[in-house]
Structure 1
Amino acid sequence: MIKNFKLLLLVSLGFVACNSDEEDISGILPEEPPVTAGSADFSKYVALGNSLTAGFSDGALFIKSQENSYAKLLADQFELAGGGEFRIPFMNDNVGGLLFGGMPNASFGPRLIFNGAAPIPLPGGTPSTETFNVVSGPFNNLGVPGAKSFHLLAPGYGNPANLPAAANPYFVRMASAPGTSVLADAMAQNPTFFSLWIGNNDVLGYALSGGDGTNPITDEATFTFAINTLITTLTSAGAKGVVANIPDVKTIPHFKVVPFNPLSPSNPSFGPMIPTLNATFAQLNQAFAFLGVPERSIQFNTNSNSPVVIHDESLLNISAQLTAVLQGGGLDPVTAALFGSQFGQCRQATNQDLFVLPSSNIIGQLNTARFTTLVGMGVPAATAGQLSINGVTFPLEDKWVLLPSEQADLAAATATFNTIIKNAAEGANLAFVDAFAILTQLSTTGIRFDNFHMTNAFVSGGAFSLDGIHITARGNAYIANKFTEAINATYGSTLRMNKMKDFQIHYPPILN
């Protein structure tokens, strides 16, 4: 019998402390020029966007992360050039997460911390921020975690009666009225300058769901209308601004942690079962070869790591043919039909497949839903258990894997959306930040920032937080500097750059 086992992911974390003796060079270097606004007016700045703008980090939104958002860092520089107050819809604590009517919600839990081996939810972390306690605005940071481009235009996006389908809990607690929109709340403040970084979730939602269809890529017409409406409206009274495009989702560590071949023969729960597994799949592999698809064969290695077995909807479904061949080869009709349906559209993974980070928790685990289904079909419990191990005997479902075809869809949509964003920004003579290029550089050569070399490595890279998606305080500082560079170049301002020593970049394990 195949034993249930849990995948052990070993992440090699290299931490390098960068220290340097500082020398007093006052009087040697020229003084920095005075901070000026150029042709821009920073007196009323509003920031529109999603979780990146809000300051979401380590899987949650909390006070310290909000204070370290790139939008807040920009506002601090704007203040030196005539900028006004920058109001933030602060959470109640540094735990993160939301309550709904006083009750915790698993989708909005506390932030993550690193326990020395892996990211874990903050021990004892209990959210205290109530979704339905509306905080008094108006707010300059209108970044709404989870928002897509068209959500910023949607009336009622902050109406609690519209939860969960047509409203967002983060906007519910900060909206000026139930029927308002994010854009309307921005325009009500008569902004003189704005930042707009939106569109990430229009592709990211599809990626994080493994392209399984539950969170589709926004269609081009909707995206075009949203971006053009946002920029046209925001500039309608003469405001200037800065716009950023969408990074390549494949550059974020969320898709880099789980390898395609995590099944180790040294795993005591898996290794001893390899001969039995291979014997079990031998007849299936013969059937694959007979049908002319030997590349779908399932074989586990005894001396090296093996790929997981995945469902691939881009493959021709040969369940009926497979069933017939297996039955013709002497397998009883019930087992032949079971094998045919389970393996008719599957293969072992390759290094071209990407896996969502949460898949690390289910690979090698019993798929209880599949087990229950098989038992309900009359399959003995022992056999049902053997055929229900995620990624081994039960192909990983689509939601855990980004197939090459799905990656191609994402790349095409991102390229199209970025063209739309850039054309709209240039058409309105706005400053433009190429976030796609920045994140690509981060994932290839890395980026030097002060005394730090940032990469997209999970945990140790310094740029991404513990959820593998959102950026750290250090990453926010660098992004703010790239926004500043674009603003200075476009409007002739002389805003200064952030230095790492100017603010806290690490969060203690527990913050009061």
Structure 2
Amino acid sequence: MMKNFKWLLLVSLTFVACNNDDAVTTVSNSSDGLPLTAGTADFSKFVALGDSFAAGFSDNALFKTGQAGAYTNIMAQQFALVGGGDFKIPYTKDDIGGFSMGGNQIPQFPTRLYFNGAAPVNVSGVTTTAITDHLTGSYNNLGIPGAKSFHLTYSGYASANPYFGRFASSTTATVLGDALAQTPTFFSLWIGGNDVLGYATNGGVPTSQDATLGNDITPPTTFEAVYTGMVTQLTAGGRKGVVANLPYVNTLPYFTTVPYNPLPLDASTIALLMNTTTGYGKYNGGIQYVLSLGLISPAEAAKRTIAFHPGNGNAVVIEDSYLTPLTAYGIPSYRQATSDDLVVLPARNFIGTTIGGNPLYVNGVSVPLADKWVLSKEEIDEVRTATDAYNVTIQNNATTNGLAFVDTKVIMNQLISGGIVANSFLVTSAYVTGGAFSLDGVHPSPRGYALIANKFIEAINKKYSSNLKGVSLADYRILYPASL
């Protein structure tokens, strides 16, 4: 896909004979066979606001081909068929991904992933996209990787986030301000995922109490105030647009790929683990002691008791800060994971590794997994509660302002519960093979972005009586290869 282009409208006509011998014209690239129309929408100046999804982030990086395949750019290409103008994208310089400084890849912004047939690995090389680069001019795609809702109105965010800093109009600019300065005729807004995602991907461990840059869950009252304020400005003068709600993050492959019970153990190993002097046998004895003192309930005692069986299917041992603190008795907060817990995707390369090469210290077995590796049931509930509140705000704003609305929560539930069939392809949320998600387990694949674009277009057609057909998923691959 090329930057700054307009489609030539090529209409394929099929003539069907009628009883009165008049010809009926059917248009093959519209959704209803009628001549293409924008309906009541005006796509001549489209701006897209959002986070990494709007930017086209994929395979744990932002790179040029991924940006071209963003759902926002696919939408813009469809809008061009009915009067849409140029859709300018702040392209990175190559397909390596991430940022460099002084000719070296910055570890916090690594190169993109690709699947080598056995596992995801990073592409080799160093990106030519320097973190100090700054682009001039205005851009229609204002999707900012890492952005939370309130970041879009935060003056100074350009200095805090290099993805915005590389093309912001000034160091004090806001994302919303740069969007409105272009006097758009149509907008898209999909934001809020990162308001819970950082907390969730970090296993429910907030990295900072700083409301601006930390990984705490954004209070629903904050989200409501910021989101409503943005929509009020975006819809001023009757401007039309499309908004989307949020799926539960725990339906993403990042949280559903690694099982809670992946451990194969034999009888001799179990005997060592359950040693009553140095192993979990001693720990279990301590649990029974505090139970006898009435410090914990029988239910919690059962929850904290460690047990293994010979063969496969043993649950990992984890730390859980939601358990009753018993450190005064020398008892740590350990338990085994259950099906109600979600082990994060990076743990697949950590569980079973040893500390210092010592076979007696195995992560997830003799050494419990730290909180950051697991999203517990209580933490899942916290994320779900916040997401539900955000979605109420988004739905209310869509209804009040007469905006097109995309229910991504329903879409994600379909992807995780059997999948969605489109253009004869079955697309699911399964990691690597499902077709919807990239190798980071959070962001869409090329085909996933095409599916999202089509869902946005369907909502726009429904609300504004346009009849854009959308794109064929056959034109979008499942995953990006090593070389592009």
Task: Please give the range of the TM-score, normalised by the shorter of the 2 chains.
Answer: 0.7 to 0.9
User: In the TM superposition, what is the alpha-carbon distance from 1:171 to its structure 2 partner?
Assistant: 0.5
1:3-62 residue CA offsets vs partner (Å, 9 max, x unmatched): xxxxxxxxxxxxxxxxxxxxxx97689433222111111110000000000011111111
Q: What is the aligned length? A: 441
- Stretch of structure 1 that moved more, 271-280 or 473-482: 271-280
Contact 2:97 2:110 in 1 (8 A): yes
Rounded Cα–Cα distance in structure 2 between residues aligned with 1:506 and 1:276: 43
Contact 1:89 1:137 in 2 (8 A): no
Segments of 5+ residues of structure 1 without an aligned counterpart are 1-24, 160-166, 324-339, 372-381
Residue identity in the other structure for 2:187? F
Which residue of 193, 196, 208 corresponds with 1:200?
A: 193
Contact 2:258 2:347 in 1 (8 A): yes
Match of 2:285 in 1: 286
1:406-442 residue CA offsets vs partner (Å, 9 max, x unmatched): 0111111111000001101211111110011110111
Match of 1:121 in 2: 122
Match of 1:330 in 2: none
Contact 2:50 2:142 in 1 (8 A): yes
For residue 242 of structure 1, give the secondary structure of its aligned residue in structure 2: strand
Q: Does residue 445 of the first structure (1) align with residue 446 of the second (2)?
A: no
Match of 1:137 in 2: 137
- Stretch of structure 1 that moved more, 180-189 or 496-505: 496-505
Rounded Cα–Cα distance in structure 1 between residues aligned with 2:237 and 2:60: 37
For residue 198 of structure 2, give the secondary structure of its aligned residue in structure 1: helix
Q: Does residue 349 of the first structure (1) align with residue 337 of the second (2)?
A: yes
Higher strand share goes to which structure? 2
User: In the TM superposition, what is the alpha-carbon distance from 1:447 to its structure 2 partner?
Assistant: 0.4
Rounded Cα–Cα distance in structure 1 between residues aligned with 2:475 and 2:282: 65
Contact 1:58 1:113 in 2 (8 A): yes
Rounded Cα–Cα distance in structure 1 between residues aligned with 2:480 and 2:352: 33
Match of 2:468 in 1: 495
Which residue of 438, 459, 469 corresponds with 2:432?
A: 459
Match of 1:482 in 2: 455
Normalised by the size of structure 1, how large is the TM-score?
0.82
Match of 1:44 in 2: 45
Contact 2:104 2:126 in 1 (8 A): no
Rounded Cα–Cα distance in structure 2 between residues aligned with 1:495 and 1:477: 14
Contact 1:356 1:401 in 2 (8 A): yes
Q: Does residue 179 of the first structure (1) align with residue 154 of the second (2)?
A: no
Q: Alpha carbons of 1:364 and 1:226: their partners in 2 closer, same or farther (altered >3 Å)?
A: same
Q: How does 1:5-404 map to 2 (within 5 A)?
A: 30-31=26-27, 32-122=33-123, 124-159=124-159, 167-214=160-207, 215-265=215-265, 272-279=268-275, 280-292=279-291, 293-321=301-329, 323=330, 340=331, 344-367=332-355, 386=360, 388-404=361-377
For residue 412 of structure 2, give the secondary structure of its aligned residue in structure 1: helix
1:162-220 residue CA offsets vs partner (Å, 9 max, x unmatched): xxxxx111001111111101011101100000000000100111110111122111012
Contact 1:192 1:238 in 2 (8 A): no
Rounded Cα–Cα distance in structure 2 between residues aligned with 1:30 and 1:450: 20
Contact 1:97 1:111 in 2 (8 A): yes
Residue identity in the other structure for 2:195? D
Residue identity in the other structure for 1:297? T
Residue identity in the other structure for 1:151? H
For residue 120 of structure 1, give the secondary structure of its aligned residue in structure 2: strand
Rounded Cα–Cα distance in structure 1 between residues aligned with 2:44 and 2:69: 21
Rounded Cα–Cα distance in structure 1 between residues aligned with 2:289 and 2:170: 65
1:448-472 residue CA offsets vs partner (Å, 9 max, x unmatched): 0111111111000000111110111
1:140-170 residue CA offsets vs partner (Å, 9 max, x unmatched): 00000000000000111113xxxxxxx1110
User: In the TM superposition, what is the alpha-carbon distance from 1:304 to its structure 2 partner?
Assistant: 2.7
- Stretch of structure 1 that moved more, 29-38 or 59-68: 29-38
Q: Does residue 473 of the first structure (1) align with residue 472 of the second (2)?
A: no
Normalised by the size of structure 2, how large is the TM-score?
0.87
Contact 2:89 2:139 in 1 (8 A): yes
Match of 1:13 in 2: none
Aligned CA-pair RMSD? 2.1
For residue 265 of structure 2, give the secondary structure of its aligned residue in structure 1: coil
Rounded Cα–Cα distance in structure 2 between residues aligned with 1:128 and 1:402: 36
User: In the TM superposition, what is the alpha-carbon distance from 1:101 to its structure 2 partner?
Assistant: 4.8
Rounded Cα–Cα distance in structure 1 between residues aligned with 2:412 and 2:86: 30
1:203-256 residue CA offsets vs partner (Å, 9 max, x unmatched): 111110111122111012211111011111111243210000111111111111
Residue identity in the other structure for 1:314? Y
Match of 2:21 in 1: none
Match of 2:389 in 1: 416
Contact 1:109 1:127 in 2 (8 A): no
Residue identity in the other structure for 2:339? N
Q: Alpha carbons of 1:119 and 1:504: their partners in 2 closer, same or farther (altered >3 Å)?
A: closer
Contact 1:35 1:496 in 2 (8 A): no
Residue identity in the other structure for 1:231? V
1:343-377 residue CA offsets vs partner (Å, 9 max, x unmatched): x2111111111011111222223457xx9xxxxxx
Rounded Cα–Cα distance in structure 2 between residues aligned with 1:281 and 1:417: 42
